[in-house]
Structure 1
Amino acid sequence: DLGWLEERMRQSITGQHAFRMSKVTRTEAETRWKQQPFKLDLLEDLEDDNIAHCTHAGFTDLCRGGHVNHTGEIPVFKLMSIAGAYWRGSEKNPQLQRIYGALFETEEELAAYETQLEEARRRDHRRIGRDLKLFDLYDEVGPGHVVWLPAGATIRRELERWVEDLEIEHGYDHVITPVIAKRELYIRSGHWDHYQDAMYPVMEREGEQYCLRPMNCPHHIMIVDSEQHSYREYPIRIAELGNMHRWEKSGQVSGMSRVRIMTLNDAHIFCTDAEMVEREVEGVLRLMEHAYGILGLTDYTYRLSLGDPDNHEKYVDNPPMWEAGEAL
């Protein structure tokens, strides 16, 4: 299929077809694309005076422009692969096909890029893990389910021991909680309403429903909430190397970079006031940088996730809480 598409593209390049832009009204655009729901969806985001079509040869498409003068100016290219992609990046929408391609000024640049890709395949962590007998992935076990082999398990065990000791030295209480809980727990925490599509199917036994946990938060909150605490006990730092289960779509699973079962070095810190929160956040960042330094990790960034007041599906609808948290 890719070879056929490339040949069609080369025929278009040989034809040196000019790109011609034209503005259209919303009514004209809706009439032209009435049989194409994706085009109609895109039109909803466009202002009435900013709807444009582009035509070359006999092909016209909804397009805002930004082209070479004609197809003959398109340099060296190659179509690389095909993959599935959800419309607008949401798994709730239909799945489409995405074609990846590469474009360069010269044949030499394209050849260098292909060599780079081949080197990346040669250094693929899945192949290296198998060759060094660190871990493997088996179809019979399922995609995204990593099997740690003896050598890899030894490395993992040493890392886990070091992390636990380091966190205990810094005042964290390590716990071990079940990887499964009643569905009611995730309803109470809010995960069920916002996250159920990314969870494994519910298991029902003796009239009760159970779920593999997608995250550790509810279990740690239950520990702290199970008894009263004096203000002198705070901050309370609960930590766990906990297994979490998330039903990633098959097209998204990739080696160990995107899995369905992961072990998170997780912690939840419970504070009494904003001043304590500030101190604890600073302490967490110092601890992270200390650990990264020992592991030789230097190329990293921090990302602060802020709330979206217009998105009540993914964010808790509590503006004062978000404002107070972000102000810190």
Structure 2
Amino acid sequence: MREVTAGTKAWELFTDDTSVIAARVGGELKDLSHPLSEGDEVEGVAIDSADGRDILRHSTAHVMAQAVQQLFPEAKLGIGPPVTDGFYYDFDVETPFVPEDLAKIETAMRKIVKEGQRFDRRVTTDADAISELAEEPYKIELIGLKGSGRSDDAAEGASVEVGAGELTIYDNVRRNGDVAWSDLCRGPHLPTTKRIPAFKLMRSAAAYWRGDEKNKQLQRIYGTAWETKEALEEHLHRLEEAERRDHRKLGRELDLFSFPDEIGSGLPVFHPRGGVIKREMEDYVRLRHIEEGFEYVGTPHIAKEGLFHTSGHLPYYGEGMFPALDVDGMDYRLKAMNCPMHNLIFDARQRSYRELPLRLFEFGSVYRHEKSGVVHGLTRVRGFAQDDSHSYCTPEQAPGEVKHLLDFMLSVLRDFGLDDFYLELSTRDDSKPDKFVGSDEDWAAATAVLEQVATESGLELVPDPGGAAFYGPKVSVQAKDAIGRTWQMGTVQYDFNQPSPDRFNLTYVAPDGSRQQPVMIHSAKFGSIERFLGVLVEHYAGALPPWLAPVQVQAIPIAERHADYLHDVARRMRTQGLRVEVDDSDDRMQKKIRNAQLQKVPFMMIAGDDDLAAGAVSFRYRDGRQDNGVPLEEAIARVAAAVESREQV
């Protein structure tokens, strides 16, 4: 530990560590120019840490905005926060940006970086800031929102601009002392622009001010910034790989699914080959639920609106539901969740403690009114199926049931080839009590159960304050795919709210004959079947393991006279439940092989004169390896074994 006198600047503590670009003082992020006070505890923030990268990216966003206003003086500033792996800044300009504009902006940014302009923080008042920023209407609006106490809810990134407490402006100062540019911002920032090692502008897009479709559409420029040029190159390579794996692109190429305009945004249809994958997933998880003690149920797609008032979803989740439907003069809703209907199944007759835990499961089709800007392929849709389950148990049984569900969920992910994950514990935001229901005691007890079970799993547990559902905390599994991206998969949620007397008033008869309230635990192993399928397609880059592949074997005759032989082979394999197609088109053999490779088929069986004579095939794998003269029975057995074992070929 090193002690310094009050008034020392934070940077003086880190003169020997060039990786430090900011300081954490008393738990709060500060600029390195921050003067220290008596009793301050100081920790350096390295540029390659999560906070360091955010500061780097936010500073780069400021440099980008400065460059934009140099090149386009009429541009009005919106907000410019750091985001995952990058940053953006919104601008009000008369003409949308084009790629040539981004190239000019990037060149101007490099000049600003090279100048080594200093980021200087100064405190101001609302009145002075409004006067200084008179030509920036969006900044003035944010100042007004700060005054109303609503700045944090104004838009993603608004708190980066104005924050809470004192209002601050950052000046970009040249070495001769001239102020090159200024922006309303809470900071912190890098010491100088020269501390920006590597960046790139990626694209521009339209975005509504403060994310509200009723507001004006601005132009958003996205960029990325990293602590080294090597880190930037690695990121760009990951983006290229992600583009190659994009499930929307592969869905078209492999003829798996589509999104017809005639049906509507976010409402996918599965083609026969995609239907095979979806059916295999459903068959697998249905059997697994039965093995794990669940009973299969079914519920309708719509219900009277009052049901969702009882559950609390309309008051607390109403924006996520589609508008009411008039049915015989009564308001009905498309269901956005299955739990209210499962509660009615539980309540259909008197329950005994001997029945608990009672586990109900279904493939429930639900519909959510997602905004058009967030709909994305299969990973963010408006209509989807959940492998949704609800366990009703006593409070004493709850820890064991949560562990059972978590173990079940992790085993499902491993069976699908996802084995790198951590857990996230989502709790309520105590600063926003109106968004959550229940007593402090209920929340504390529920959170303690989830935290204990998650900790005992041995997996990394990451806090997610404020991320809980309105009715209780949850644990979610965050799984990494083949290129290191993290996806939220299944969840386990502890619900003390819906069974309560104020909601569904669910009870069971306890051993002493009294009526007691059960605990309700929500769980979805896939989460959404559609989303999980999209993640799998990207994880495997479309080359799904044999047990999931729509076509497991492509039979390829070398000449027309060999086709009947392979048709007989295909019939034999289909009797064993294997999915086989014979390519008896007029294409040359090499083109047939190429077509099978493009369709990501795991196995090819090629037959010519020698194979017919020997009762064999040439066995070709997806990676290009080939075994010639494989006896037919052995070839069939190889495929069957790979499918049975869920081998990742």
TM-score when scaled to structure 1?
Answer: 0.86
Contact kept? 1:68, 1:74, Cα under 8 Å: no
Residue in 1 that maps onto 2:281: 159
Q: Residues 1-328 of structure 1: matches in 2 within 5 Å?
A: 1-2=97-98, 3-8=100-105, 10-11=107-108, 13-14=110-111, 16=115, 18-27=117-126, 28-33=128-133, 35=137, 36-40=140-144, 41=146, 42=159, 45-48=163-166, 51-56=168-173, 58-63=180-185, 64-67=187-190, 69-70=192-193, 77-83=199-205, 97-103=219-225, 114=236, 116-272=238-394, 274-328=395-449
Following the alignment from structure 1 to structure 2, what is the Cα–Cα distance between the partners of residues 270 and 105?
50
1:44-85 per-position Cα deviation (integer Å, ceiling 9, x unaligned)? 63333x734223554211233523635x77566432123455
**Percent same amino acid among aligned pairs?**
38
Structure (1 or 2) with the greater helix fraction: 1
| Gap change, CA 1:118 and 1:283, over 3 Å in 2 | closer
Cα distance, 1:169 vs. partner? 1.9
| Gap change, CA 1:87 and 1:306, over 3 Å in 2 | farther
| Gap change, CA 1:196 and 1:270, over 3 Å in 2 | same
Following the alignment from structure 1 to structure 2, what is the Cα–Cα distance between the partners of residues 324 and 203?
39
- Using the TM superposition, name which of 258-267 and 15-24 deviates more: 15-24
Cα distance, 1:316 vs. partner? 1.2
1:3-33 per-position Cα deviation (integer Å, ceiling 9, x unaligned)? 3254245346446373351422334335434
Structure (1 or 2) with the greater strand fraction: 2
Cα distance, 1:311 vs. partner? 2.0
| Gap change, CA 1:65 and 1:161, over 3 Å in 2 | closer
Cα distance, 1:248 vs. partner? 0.9
Following the alignment from structure 1 to structure 2, what is the Cα–Cα distance between the partners of residues 86 and 320?
41
Cα distance, 1:143 vs. partner? 1.7
| Gap change, CA 1:260 and 1:270, over 3 Å in 2 | same
Cα distance, 1:203 vs. partner? 0.8
1:288-325 per-position Cα deviation (integer Å, ceiling 9, x unaligned)? 22222322220222222222233234321422211121
Letter in 2 for 1:29: A
| Gap change, CA 1:53 and 1:216, over 3 Å in 2 | same
Following the alignment from structure 1 to structure 2, what is the Cα–Cα distance between the partners of residues 323 and 114?
43
Following the alignment from structure 2 to structure 1, what is the Cα–Cα distance between the partners of residues 229 and 353?
69
Structure 2: 5+ residue stretches without partners: 1-96, 147-158, 174-178, 450-649
Contact kept? 1:13, 1:74, Cα under 8 Å: no
What is the SS of the residue equivalent to 1:268? strand
1:81-137 per-position Cα deviation (integer Å, ceiling 9, x unaligned)? 234557777889987543211346898876775554333222211111122121112
- Using the TM superposition, name which of 277-286 and 293-302 deviates more: 293-302
Q: What is the RMSD computed on CA atoms of the aligned residues?
A: 3.0
Residue in 1 that maps onto 2:26: none
Contact kept? 2:119, 2:190, Cα under 8 Å: no
What is the SS of the residue equivalent to 1:303? strand
Higher relative contact order (CA 8 A, sep 6+): 1
Following the alignment from structure 1 to structure 2, what is the Cα–Cα distance between the partners of residues 227 and 78?
63
What is the SS of the residue equivalent to 2:203? strand
Following the alignment from structure 2 to structure 1, what is the Cα–Cα distance between the partners of residues 226 and 397?
54
Letter in 2 for 1:309: D
Cα distance, 1:268 vs. partner? 0.6
Contact kept? 2:202, 2:224, Cα under 8 Å: yes
What is the SS of the residue equivalent to 2:163? coil
| Gap change, CA 1:170 and 1:137, over 3 Å in 2 | same
Cα distance, 1:258 vs. partner? 0.9
Following the alignment from structure 2 to structure 1, what is the Cα–Cα distance between the partners of residues 121 and 284?
64
Letter in 1 for 2:132: R
1:236-271 per-position Cα deviation (integer Å, ceiling 9, x unaligned)? 111111111111111101111111111111111111
Contact kept? 2:257, 2:271, Cα under 8 Å: yes
Q: What count of residue pairs does the alignment treat as equivalent?
A: 325
Contact kept? 1:212, 1:244, Cα under 8 Å: yes
Following the alignment from structure 2 to structure 1, what is the Cα–Cα distance between the partners of residues 324 and 421?
37
Following the alignment from structure 2 to structure 1, what is the Cα–Cα distance between the partners of residues 263 and 324?
19
Following the alignment from structure 1 to structure 2, what is the Cα–Cα distance between the partners of residues 251 and 283?
37
- Using the TM superposition, name which of 202-211 and 301-310 deviates more: 301-310
Structure 1: 5+ residue stretches without partners: none
| Gap change, CA 1:9 and 1:170, over 3 Å in 2 | closer
Letter in 1 for 2:104: E
Letter in 2 for 1:4: D
Contact kept? 2:204, 2:222, Cα under 8 Å: yes
Residue in 1 that maps onto 2:59: none
Letter in 1 for 2:192: N
What is the SS of the residue equivalent to 1:301? strand
Following the alignment from structure 2 to structure 1, what is the Cα–Cα distance between the partners of residues 210 and 405?
35
Following the alignment from structure 1 to structure 2, what is the Cα–Cα distance between the partners of residues 82 and 231?
59
Contact kept? 1:54, 1:65, Cα under 8 Å: no
- Using the TM superposition, name which of 211-220 and 30-39 deviates more: 30-39
Contact kept? 1:54, 1:61, Cα under 8 Å: yes
